[in-house]
Amino acid sequence: MINCETFELTGSDNVRFLVDRFSTPYKSNKIIIFCHGFKGFKDWGGFNYVADFFSNKNITFYKFNFSHNGTSLNNPNELCDLEKFSQNNFTRELYDLNQLINFVEVKDDLSDKQLILIGHSRGGGISIIKSSMDSRVNKLVTWCSPSNFFNKLDSEKIKLWEDRKVIYIENKRTNQKLPLDYQFYIDCINNKDNYDILNCFNKIIIPHLVQHAKNDETVDYSEAVKISKNSKKSKLISYDSNHVFGMSHPFNESNCTKVLDNVLSDVLFFLET
């Protein structure tokens, strides 16, 4: 029987964030932490389906909302706190992830277990950066993740951003205009070397499964090829699907089960070898 408990941790700037822990009564020797992507949240689409899959394989599974992802404690499934969203950046997300790993280290005793990070899209990039900094991570899985956080920041857009102090990103699912403060760019520049994804692989020697959709409309498949070429112990698997492996929100299992099940089965095989 799967047990799911939801609790709060303190993240960046003392902002509380929600965490789900899926487990079974049996002792698990593997712990997964799943990181959602930009404009995402822990219960988006089929992420609960993903959690159930691994829990049924007796793998303890954590998923969480980044503290500044735009959701709130009372409304964790919608981007409703746009002020927090505007103040998000990579440093804050790395802080939140570290807080969760610290919790897992105590809760689950990582001394005799494997800690695996799985990240989708931007969450994959964050997982790569964290893996380059933290020896507690034993294996890495990235789903449709970018190889570069900075290549879409051209000088003309940056100048406009600096002048206006904020830019707006469209959330096509909800038709929201999501604000992103200029502080995001400052954080990128101040940490450019540390947040250079391909450069991070100079410090990563753990096994890495790179999974990417051939028809990814958000992060081109070529990004996965670059990641795989630079990651020392990587395996690249491609799928005939889109950026979210056929998932949608709200979740419609019939639309994506075949592709998503293949993705999950490939992860399981990777973890067991």
What's the CATH architecture for 3-150+198-272?
Answer: 3-Layer(aba) Sandwich (3.40)
pLDDT of residue 27: 86
3-state DSSP call for residue 119? strand
Angle, vertex CA 181, rays to CA 179 and CA 182, nearest 5: 140
The predicted model scores a pTM of 0.97
Beta strands in 68-207, from DSSP E residues, in sequence order = 114-120, 139-143, 166-171, 176-181
pLDDT of residue 86: 98
20-41 residues labelled b (16+ CB within 10 A) or e (exposed): bbbbeeeebebbbbbbbbbbbb
141-164 residues labelled b (16+ CB within 10 A) or e (exposed): bbbbbbbebeeeeeeeeeeebeee
Q: At what angle do helices 183-190 and 155-164 cross, to 10 degrees?
A: 130
Closest by CA position to 104, among listed 225, 7, 238, 215: 7
pLDDT of residue 1: 85
Task: Note whether 69 and 36 are within 8 A (CB).
Answer: yes
Q: Is 11 exposed, middle or buried (0-12, 13-18, 19+ CB in 10 A)?
A: buried
DSSP string, 157-171: HHHHHHHHSEEEEEE
Angle, vertex CA 145, rays to CA 103 and CA 10, nearest 5: 25
- HSE at residue 225, side-chain half, CA atoms within 13 A, is 4
pLDDT of residue 43: 97
Q: Give 250's DSSP letter.
A: S
Chain segment 70-124, per-residue pLDDT in tens: 999 999 999 999 999 999 999 999 999 999 999 999 999 999 999 999 999 999 9
Dihedral pair phi/psi, residue 147, rounded to 5°: -95, -5
Task: Note whether 131 and 204 are within 8 A (CB).
Answer: yes
3-state DSSP call for residue 14? helix
Please tell me the distance from the alpha carbon of residue 127 to that of residue 115, in angstroms, as a whole number: 12
pLDDT of residue 150: 87
pLDDT < 50 stretches in the chain: none
